[in-house]
Chain A
Amino acid sequence: MLGRLSWHALPHDTVTRGGAASMVLAALLIFGYLLYTKRLGWLWREWLTSLDPKKIGVMYIVVAVVMLLRGAADAALMRTQQATNAHFLSANHFQQIFSAHGTIMIFFVAMGLMFGLINLIMPLQIGARDVAFPFLNSAAFWLFAAGMLLVNLSLIIGEFSAAGWLAYPPLSEIAYSPGVGVDYWIWALQIAGVGSLLSGINFLVTILRMRRPGMTLMKMPLFSWSVLCSMVLVIFAFPILTATLGMLALDRTLGMHFFTAGGGGNAMMYVNLIWAWGHPEVYILILPAFGVFSEVVATFSRKPIFGYTSMVWALIAITFLSYTVWLHHFFTMGAGADVNAFFGIMTMVIAIPTGVKIFNWLFTMYRGRIKFATPMLWFLGFVVTFSVGGMAGVMMAVPAIDFQVHNSLFLVAHFHTMIVGGVVFGFFAGLTYWFPKIFGFTLNERLGRYAFWCWFVGFLTAFIPLYILGLMGATRRLNNYDPSLGWQGLFIVAAIGAAIIFAGIGFQILQLGYSIWKRNENRVSGDPWNGRTLEWSTTSPPPSYNFAALTPVDSRDAFWELKKTKQAEKPAYEDIQLPKNSGVGIFIALFAFIFGFGAVWHIWWLLPIGLVGVISCIVGRASQGGTEYRLSAKKVAAMEAEA
C-alpha cells in the first residue's frame, strides 16, 4: 500500500534531524504568519495564481534565494568537516550533502535566478506586454517549484542521492544505490526539467514573435540576445536530460539494462548523454549572465556597447560550439587520443568568442564615464574570477593535463570559479541593476558594496586553496583524509573563505531588509541609472500591461535615443488584452509532485492519480472560456495619468 514508505524513513542522525526540523518550523512559521495576518487569500490571488511574468519572476527569485541558503548550509557542513577533518558527518551523509549541494545550486538556484531574471526583464526589454504563453509560464514555474519541494522533502522523509550531482551509473543503479535517494534526484530533476523545457519554448517564441515593431534582431538589446541563445540551448539540451533520466528510472524501477554493469548495459553511454545535456547547461546559465554584464557595462560607462555585432556573433558561436565539447568532462574514460584531441581543441576554441566578449566589455569601459555602482563592482570582480577560471579551463582542455587533475579539487575550484564567479556574480549584478525596475526603489549601495567585497574576497580565499590542493593530489568528494598529507592548513583557509562568503550573504539579507525599510527614501521614477534600453522607458514598477503604447523603435539603444531627441508626443491609447489569473498551473504541478512521490517510494496507486490529474487539468484549462480580460483604452489612459 505504501510501497517502501514507513516510519523508518524519518531522519535518524542529529544533523539531518536539525535540518529537517528547522525547515518544517520555518514553513510553519511563514504559514502561521500569513494565516494570522489573513494574507493567505491575498497571496493566492495576487501572487500564486498570477500569470504576470513580473510576478512569476519574483517568485522564481524567492525560491532561488531560499535554495541558495539551503545549498550554502550544505557547503558550510562540508567545509567544516574537511577543515576539522573530524567525523561528525558519516561518509554516506557527506555524499548525500555534496550531491544535494550540486543539484540544488545548479537546478534550483542558478536556473531559478536565471528564469527569474528572464521573466522580469526580457519581455520589458523587447518592448512586449507579456510572454507568448502566460499560462505555460505559470505551469513551468510551478513544476520547478514541485521539483524543488521533492529535493527538500528528501531531507525529511527518506534520504537523498549519494551518487553525486549527476548520479553516474553503475553507482546510481539499484544494485549499488538501493535506497530512495537516487529516485528523489531523478524525479525532482525530471519534473523541474520539464518546466525548464516549457519555459525555453515560451521565451524563444516570445523573443522571435513579440518584439516591438522596428526592433529587428540586430537592434535587440544584448541581454535579450543572450536569452535567445540560452533558450535555443534549453530546447536542444533538455530533451536529452529527460530521455536520460527516464532511462535511469526505467533501469531502477523496471529492471532494464541501459546503464547497468551487467545485462548488456553501457554505463559510458550515460556519461555521454548526461554531458551532452550538461555541457550546454553550463552555457544556458552563463549566457544570460553575459547578457546582464553587457547591459550593466554599457549603462554604467554611459556608452553604447563596444562591438555589438561581434557580441551577437560571439553568443551565436558559443551556442553552436557548446555542443562540440561535452567529451572534455571525461577525457579519462578512454575514447582514444584522436577523439580526446578533437574535443580538447574544440574546448580551447570556445575560449575565443568568450575572450571576444571580455575584451568588448573592457573596450566599452575605455573612455567611458564609468560609475562604480554595485552592479559594476560585480562585473569587475567577474572579469578577475572568470579570467582565472577560464585559464584553468583552457589548461584542463589539454587532455594530458586533464589526466593529472581529473576528479581533483582543481576541477572543483575551476567550475566554482565559472559558476560562482561567472553565473552568480552576473545574476547578482542583474538583480541589483533591475531591482528598482521591479520594486520602484533602489537597494542600499553601501551594504551592497560590503556584500560584494565579502563575496569577492571570500570566494578567492575559499577556492584558491582548492586549486593548490588539487595540484597536490586531493581528489574531490573526500569526507576525510590522512592528516599526514599536510592538507589541513589549506582546508582551513578554504573554510575561512567560505565564512567570508557567508558574511557576504548576511550583508545581502541586511541590504534587502534595510532597503525595504528605507524604501521611501530611495523611490525612483522610471529610470534610476540613466538606462539605455526599453525596459526603463516605462514606470518602475511597471503597470501590469508593461507599456501603454507600443511605439515603434528604430535604433539599438532605443530609450537612450528617445531621451536624446526628447520627443514626448502623446501616445494614442488602445484596448489591451491581458490574461486572467489561473490556479490550474499549481494543480498541474501538484499532480506531477504526487506522481513523482509515488514513483520515488514505489507507491504505485499514486501514479495513475498523478497522471489522470495532470491530464484533466490540461483538458480542463483548454476547455476554459474567457481566460483573458480587456483593459479599455479609457482605463489605460486613466492609469497612465495616475502614474
Chain B
Amino acid sequence: MSQAATITRANERQEAESKTLFGFWVYLMTDCVLFASLFATFAVLRGNTFGGPTGDQLFSLPFVLIETLVLLTSSYTAGLGLLAARRRAKTQVLVFFGLTMLLGIFFLTMELTEFHKLYVEGDSWRRSGFLSAFFTLVGTHGLHITSGLIWMAVMLYKVAKGGLNHVNVKRLTMLSMFWHFLDIIWIFIFTIVYLVGVAG
C-alpha cells in the first residue's frame, strides 16, 4: 500500500470516529431530555403523597451521600481509565475500568437496598404518585447504570482479549462519556430528589 493510501485510510478512520462520537453526544442529549421529562414529572408529583410518607420521612441523607461519593469516585476512575487508554496502557485500563465497575456495582447494590427497604416497609411505587415518580426516576437512572455495567463488562473482555485497538479506544471513550453523563444526572437526583426532599 502506498503512503498516500495509508494516509487516506487513516483520515477516513478519524473522520468516522469523530462522526460516531458526535452521534453519541447527540444520543446523550436525547437521554437528557428523557430524564428532564422524568424530573418534571417528579416535580409535579412530589407533593402527591396521598396520605403516604413524604421524602423527609423516607430518605436517609448519610446513606445517599455515601452512594453519591461512590458514584463520583467511579467517575474519577473511569476518567483515569480513559487517560490510560489514550496512552495505550492496557493493564491500567483493565485496573481502572475494573475498579469503576466494582464501584458501579456497589452503587447499584446500595440503590437496590434502599428500594428493597422501602418496598418491605410498605412504601412501594403503588403507594402514591410521589413514590411512583421517585421509583421511576431513580430506577431509570439505575437501569442506565446497569446497562453501563454490562457495556463495561463487554469492554473489559474485549480489551483483555483484543488489546487497545482503535475501535476499543473509541468505545471506551463513549463508555466514559456515558458514565460521566450518568454521574451528572445523579447529581441532579441527589439535589432535587433527596436534598430538596429532606429539606422540604
Given the interface pairs A205-B23, A239-B30, the reply to whether A264 lies near B44 with Cβ below 8 Å is: no
A573 contacts B by Cβ under 8 Å: no
Q: Which residues of A contact B27 (CB under 8 A)?
A: 201
Q: Is A250 part of the contact surface with B, judged by Cβ < 8 Å?
A: yes
A264-B50, A619-B154 in contact; A247/B23 too (CB < 8 A)? Answer: no
List of B residues within 8 angstroms of A132 by Cβ: 19, 23
1/0 per residue B167-186: CB within 8 Å of A?
00001000000000000000
Q: How far is the CB of B171 from chain A (nearest CB, A)?
A: 8
The answer, yes or no, to whether A442 is at the interface (CB within 8 Å) is no
Within 8 A of B (CB), among A55-76: none
Which parts of A561-576 form the interface with B (CB within 8 Å)?
A: 574-575
Task: Identify the interface centre among B20, B49, B125: most chain A CB within 10 Å of its CB.
Answer: B125
Are B130 and A273 neighbours in the complex by a CB distance under 8 Å?
no
Partner of A256, one of B12, B136, B150, B171: B136
- B residues contacting the other copy or chain, number (CB 8 A): 39
C-alpha spacing A255/B126, complex, angstroms: 6
Chain B positions within 8 Å of A200 at CB level: 30
Cα distance A251–B45 in the bound complex, in angstroms: 14
Q: A623–B135 Cα gap in the complex (Å)?
A: 34
A257/B136 contact (C-beta < 8 A), A243-B37, A623-B158 known: no
Interchain CA distance A623-B157 in the complex, whole Å: 11
Minimal beta-carbon separation of A154 from chain B (angstroms): 26
A626 on the B face (CB < 8 A): no
Closest chain B CB from A262 CB (angstroms):
8
B138 touches A (CB below 8 Å) = no
Minimum distance in angstroms from B162 CB to a CB of chain A: 9
Q: A236 at interface (Cβ–Cβ under 8 A)?
A: yes
Interface bits B33-53 vs A (CB < 8 Å: 1, else 0) = 110011011001100111010
Write the nearest CB–CB distance from A372 to chain B, whole angstroms. 41
Q: Which of A200, A202, A243, A273 has the most CB of B within 10 A?
A: A243
Closest residue of chain B to A202 (Cβ to Cβ) is: B23
Q: How many A-B residue pairs have CB under 8 A?
A: 111
- Does chain A have a CB within 8 A of B63? no
Please measure, in the bound complex, the distance between the C-alpha atom of A575 and the C-alpha atom of B31, giving whole angstroms: 37
The answer to whether B33 and A239 touch across the interface, beta carbons within 8 angstroms, is yes
Report yes or no: A264 in contact with B128, Cβ–Cβ below 8 A: yes
Q: How far is the CA of A120 from the CA of B4 in the complex (A)?
A: 33
Tell me the chain A residues, 245-262 only, with Cβ under 8 Å from chain B: 246-247, 250-251, 254-258, 260, 262
Whether the Cβ atoms of B126 and A273 lie closer than 8 Å is no
A623 CA to B161 CA in the complex, in Å? Answer: 12
Q: Of B26, B48, B132, which one neighbours A250 at CB under 8 angstroms?
A: B132
- In the complex, how many angstroms separate the beta carbon of A212 from the nearest chain B beta carbon? 14
**Contact of B133 with A by CB under 8 A:** yes
- Are A266 and B12 in touch, CB under 8 angstroms? no
A263 engages B37 (CB within 8 Å): no
Which of B19, B26, B37 lies in contact with A235, CB distance below 8 A?
B26
- A257 touches which one: B26, B38, B128 (CB < 8 A)? B128
Chain A residues in 8 Å Cβ range of B49: 264
Is the Cβ of B23 less than 8 Å from the Cβ of A263? no
Interface assignment of A244: CB less than 8 Å from any CB of chain B: yes
User: Which residues of chain A have a CB within 8 Å of any CB of chain B?
Assistant: 132-133, 197, 200-202, 204-205, 208-210, 235-236, 238-240, 242-244, 246-247, 250-251, 254-258, 260, 262-266, 269, 273, 276, 574-575, 577, 615, 619, 622-623
Q: Can you list 25 A-B contacts with CB-CB less than 8 angstroms, sorted by A residue number?
A: A132-B23, A133-B23, A197-B30, A204-B26, A205-B19, A205-B23, A235-B29, A235-B33, A238-B30, A239-B37, A240-B37, A250-B136, A255-B125, A256-B125, A257-B129, A258-B129, A260-B129, A263-B129, A264-B129, A265-B129, A266-B44, A269-B45, A273-B37, A273-B41, A574-B8
